[in-house]
Chains A and B, each alone.
Chain A
Amino acid sequence: MPDLQQLRAEAEAAIGAAERASELEDLRVRYLGRKSELTQTLRSIGELPPEQRGPVGKQANEVRRALEALLGRRTAELEAAELDRRLAEDRVDITLPGDPPLPAGHLHLVSQIRRRMEDIFLGLGFSVVEGPEVEYEYYNFTALNHPPEHPARLPQDTFYLAERVLLRTHTSPMQIRAMELQQPPIYIVVPGRVYRPDTPDATHVPMFHQLEGLAVDEDITLADLQGCLLQFARQMFGEDTKVRLRPGYFPFTEPSVEVDVSCFRCGGSGFVADERCPTCKGEGWIEILGSGMVDPNVLDYVAANGYDNERVQGFAWGMGIERIAMLVYEVPDLRMLFENDLRLLDQFGAGP
């Protein structure tokens, strides 16, 4: 019969001194395994005289539980230390850069502005429609009340592909196409590419973008035009923006108006920090679009589809998207917008 207390002391010392999980496993086998003294003792309890069986069994079980608990604790301690060591070895130079992210992409400046405009007018109840860029002279000029001798029809101002076939010079032909397709009322905006044979320089390029607007209904007034464009200007340029209508001239609107907005850079004062404002050239106002009430002659071309010029009336406008992009982003040269230089395009957010 071994001395259980001595056995316990010996085992506890050995377990406390162990430094590896494998040593602990060996100790578990040695002190608690099938062939260990303790197990043997428990197994041979039946051979003891009856009065000793209880106390010895109790004591042996106590020692067994104590050693099992100690082994468990010690194992956890060693595993924790092991992990700490491994983590210490895993140390990195936290000052190195992170993995290169896929760089953020960008919509083109013109697309960003186009979408902002579309969204504003969608909110005002206008649908977005699009049309062909290779266009008939009929839609581009004739039905828009340009007399046959109008200078805009000359090849100096219009790209021709054939007799009576051209690249549209404005988005306005979609006014006629849309009214041929849809009876009044009609509320549309038309974004798209337009073309003019201008040799490229800082303010001219042979291809640019416009956003056309058209609203025809029974009771649309010039005052409504002012209201719509004021809403647009406030959302586009800021809540304090003011709108000014000036008389103008376009063949397909009557009355025609030019629309100015108060300068969003100088707030309309004409000055930025005592210098003449570069955006409005000191005028306090910026011309942003041409507009007016749809000319009765234009409605006559689509009279068969319900556009009786005594019964319906409306307004139309056309604005240059690049012009707005240049104003808003202070881009100095129109040509830069079509070079697709990422040094330029990457400057301007991801777009709406």
Chain B
Amino acid sequence: MRVPVAWLRSYCDPGTSAEEIADALTMAGDKLERLYRTGVGDVSRFLTGRVLRVDRHPDADRLTVCRVDVGRPEPQTIVCGAPNVAAGQTVAVALPGAVMPDGTELREAKLRGVASSGMILAEDEVGIGEDHFGILVLPGDLPVGAPLAEHLPIADEALELEITPNRPDLMGVYGVARDLHAVTAAPLAEDPTARDAEPAGDDRAEDHVSIEIDPEICLRFTARVFDDVRIGPSPLWLKQRLVAAGQRPISNVVDITNYVMLATAQPLHAFDLDEVRGSRIVVRRAGEGETMTTLDDVQRTFDPEAALVCDAEGPSGIAGIMGGQISEVSSRTTRVLMEAATWVGPNIMRTSRTLGLRTEASARFEKQLHPEQAMAAQRLAARLMVELCGARMLPGTVDVYPNPLPPRVVSLRIERMEKLLGEHVEPERVDGILERLGFAPRREDGRIAVTVPPWRDSDVQREADLIEEVARVHGLDKLPTTMPSREQAVGRLTASQRLRRRVEDLLRDRGLDECITYSFTSPAAIERLRLGETPLLRLGNPLSEELSVMRPLLLPGLLDAARHNAAHGRPDVRLFESAHVYSPALPLDGAGPGSPGGASPARERHHLAVLLTEAAPGGWRSDPRPADFFAARSLLEATMEVAGLDWRVEESGRPFLHPGRAASVAAGGREIGWIGELHPLVGREWDARDPIAAFELDVDAVVELTSDRIEAYSDVTSFPAVLQDIAVVVAEDVPAARVEDIVRAGGGDLLGELRVFDVYRGEQVGQGRKSLALRLEFRAPDRTLTDDEVAERRAAIERELAGIGGRLRA
């Protein structure tokens, strides 16, 4: 909402600068977005002048050379192109150095050989109108050489305010003035809608038009009739207010509708009554596919939710949004039907959105105006019609208002207000604030019965709403600063949050960079991972196909990030992401309107994914470590160590992984993730070179599995451990984990730590076999183990190994 400051001051002038006014309004909740200057720059270069003589330009038919008295010893010579310039006129003159509204500076110039020092101005050149056809001729009784700004509003300021959806009243200058009055207590001028025009004549409005409405879409429809209307330009003061507010002046009748809307927030529409077919107005819903050409010369098609204003033969306007070309006011118009109606806000908003057509009118109606505002606007419009168009107002108003709304009374408890704000406000001050805002407070014991004015009805309906009014006008800056007593508040992280932080820190400290990638991905990316069969959650209204499904795993986001960095000179990356993944759970369309009782519509799990294109960088004496399976596994092991979870890998492929270098991560009898090197063909889809190693874990599952884990002391210091290295020869296809299991079975309770530390293949172990070196740690909590006890275990391990065709190597 653009509010011209001079216009605002005409209703409420705190006597402060525009900036201070803006600050006061901002702190009352009417936030300043921008302060504009409108009209000309430095006003001192603009003067009144009198044209002394007008001669034809020697070398240009359309130009004249004028001698203009601007109160200086010598008259100015000014070359002028306007056809209406004549000797004896009082005119507006800009002198060289003047800054015009468009920002250009006027200079001494030669026009076709004649020096011109200044300019005789047209309306648009001083920002008070749009007329550029001829110069502005001022009343003859003005003094010559006087500052123009004293007689014409050639420079103004305007406040661009951000209006919240609950304040349609601020979409009118007088509404803003009322808020300014409330916060500054500067006097407020009489409401411009307070007084009405005098009707004349014997025939009544209802003799000339009949009106029918659909009360579901129209709360009130008022119409007044004017005849003897003389269409013409509006006076300068009105044009200037419109221009300063960002509206284009058109003709007096149209300008009046716009002016009243800007002043009061209530839009109006003027019909040429002689063009209203059948002298009848019908407000109804559109038929499916019904069309109409609107004032902007666009043919529009409607759905049955749209509300139309029609005459006897068809639509003449979209209710509350834009009029049609039929019955538009023109220069030939003599009889005007003035409409001020109240529409159903949500309906206007819906149609406006559907049509993609947002207008000054729809922006106001969609916030829900009150039916009383329609009649108020009629009164101001009527006075202007009579004053500016010489019109006669017929007696009577056609007023279709089937369900009049009674005034709303809301109760405010002082005690409750103080309890909510944490601040004491004197009841007298509360009364004063509410009165200045237009509310009618009446003190009852301990509470105030407050009658809400119509223009605030949609916003103020409850005690909390009144408390907000008092708080914002009283001043939030006066609020004390306190802390909640919070006797029972203890801040803490959940086990899951603590684990995630530790794991994320671990990966960071091992040189990984955290990524945050979009939760959406494309079905094509899922196809490229060869997961085309995966059930996906699909958006109904995605921004693009690229962002149309919720990702079922984190991997594609990290691949995208790796590709982005490779394309920008960083092919070697170590990345991780910690975020949700999504898959369908319940049938989505089963949602009812009430509380789902804590249920979630989709299956969401918190995952952690790691992706390496290099394990460690090389230097002048070492090669880079490639991002292979074991580089990833080392990080996975560290992660699981932090989680404190017993886990294992199990041979299991994934379609997007290298078939020989892929595994499932399992714990507690369930699969909780995967690890592997990317399949080279999949990597190629992301322009990546081999190898790429990755893993992805269901962190929620890790948390679930560790939630009941109890960590307790075990005695490892009282008695020494016995360390033994053994070499186990087994067939090549026996996995190390199997050997570990067998060794553990043989080692029994006395076997503690166990780790494979070398793998050997060669002549000494024979073709098709390998030797695994294992370090075993034997210990007992209650005694020092004897050599015999350890030898016994070793023998048991050897027996167990025989079962899988393995043997101990000496």
For A264, the chain B residues whose CB sits under 8 A away are none
Known contacts A102-B616, A221-B482, A223-B479; is-contact A340 B604 (Cβ 8 Å): no
Known contacts A111-B516, A223-B482; is-contact A123 B491 (Cβ 8 Å): yes
- The number of chain B residues with a CB under 8 A from chain A is 102
Known contacts A125-B490, A132-B602, A246-B476; is-contact A97 B619 (Cβ 8 Å): yes
* Beta-carbon contacts under 8 Å, B182-200 to A: none
B31 at the interface (CB under 8 A from A): yes
* Contact (Cβ within 8 A) B477 A244: yes
Q: Mark A270-310, 1 if CB is under 8 A from B, else 0.
A: 00000000000000000000000101100001000000000
CB distance from B305 to the nearest CB of A (A): 11
* Beta-carbon contacts under 8 Å, A5-45 to B: none
A249 at the interface (CB under 8 A from B): yes
Shortest Cβ distance from A293 into B: residue: B420
CB distance from A325 to the nearest CB of B (A): 11
A185 at the interface (CB under 8 A from B): yes
B7 at the interface (CB under 8 A from A): no
- Interface segment among A51-59, A61-69, A77-85, A227-235: the answer is A227-235
* Beta-carbon contacts under 8 Å, B451-466 to A: 462, 464-465
B201 at the interface (CB under 8 A from A): no
* Contact (Cβ within 8 A) A245 B574: no
* Beta-carbon contacts under 8 Å, B556-581 to A: 561, 564-565, 568, 570, 573-575, 579-580
Known contacts A110-B516, A339-B564, A341-B565; is-contact A247 B29 (Cβ 8 Å): yes
Number of A-B contacts (CB under 8 A): 295
A237 at the interface (CB under 8 A from B): no
* Contact (Cβ within 8 A) A254 B598: no
CB distance from B507 to the nearest CB of A (A): 7
CB distance from A303 to the nearest CB of B (A): 12
Known contacts A103-B617, A107-B508, A342-B565; is-contact A165 B588 (Cβ 8 Å): yes
* Beta-carbon contacts under 8 Å, A205-254 to B: 206-207, 215, 217, 219-224, 226-228, 230-231, 244-249, 254
For B512, the chain A residues whose CB sits under 8 A away are 105
Chain A interface residue bracket vs B: 35 or more
* Contact (Cβ within 8 A) A162 B588: yes
* Contact (Cβ within 8 A) A127 B491: yes
Shortest Cβ distance from A209 into B: residue: B516
CB distance from A162 to the nearest CB of B (A): 4
Picked from A107, A133, A167, A295, the residue with its CB within 8 Å of the CB of B514 is A107
B620 at the interface (CB under 8 A from A): yes
CB distance from A88 to the nearest CB of B (A): 21
* Contact (Cβ within 8 A) A165 B591: yes
Shortest Cβ distance from A206 into B: residue: B543
* Contact (Cβ within 8 A) A255 B471: yes
The CA-CA distance from A322 to B787 in the complex, in Å, is: 64
Known contacts A206-B543, A207-B520, A295-B464; is-contact A217 B513 (Cβ 8 Å): no
* Beta-carbon contacts under 8 Å, A97-138 to B: 97, 99-100, 102-108, 110-111, 115, 118, 121-130, 132-138
* Contact (Cβ within 8 A) B619 A248: no
A203 at the interface (CB under 8 A from B): no
* Contact (Cβ within 8 A) A159 B579: no
Known contacts A217-B484, A342-B565; is-contact A134 B550 (Cβ 8 Å): yes
Known contacts A99-B622, A110-B516, A257-B476; is-contact A197 B543 (Cβ 8 Å): yes
* Contact (Cβ within 8 A) A313 B591: no
For B491, the chain A residues whose CB sits under 8 A away are 121-128, 187
A265 at the interface (CB under 8 A from B): no
In the assembled complex, 6 residue pairs joining A and B whose CB atoms fall closer than 8 Å, in A order, are A99-B622, A155-B540, A193-B580, A223-B480, A295-B464, A346-B513
Residues of chain A whose beta carbon lies under 8 Å from any beta carbon of chain B? 96-97, 99-100, 102-108, 110-111, 115, 118, 121-130, 132-139, 142-143, 147-149, 151, 154-156, 159-165, 167, 176-177, 180-181, 185, 187, 193, 195, 197, 199, 206-207, 215, 217, 219-224, 226-228, 230-231, 244-249, 254-258, 293, 295-296, 301, 313, 337-343, 345-346, 350-351
Name the 4 nearest CB pairs between A and B, nearest first. Answer: A221-B422, A247-B29, A223-B422, A149-B346
Residues of chain B whose beta carbon lies under 8 Å from any beta carbon of chain A? 26-29, 31, 164-167, 345-346, 349-350, 353, 419-423, 462, 464-465, 467-468, 471-472, 476-477, 479-486, 488-494, 497, 501, 504, 507-520, 537-543, 547, 550, 561, 564-565, 568, 570, 573-575, 579-580, 582, 588-589, 591-602, 604, 616-622
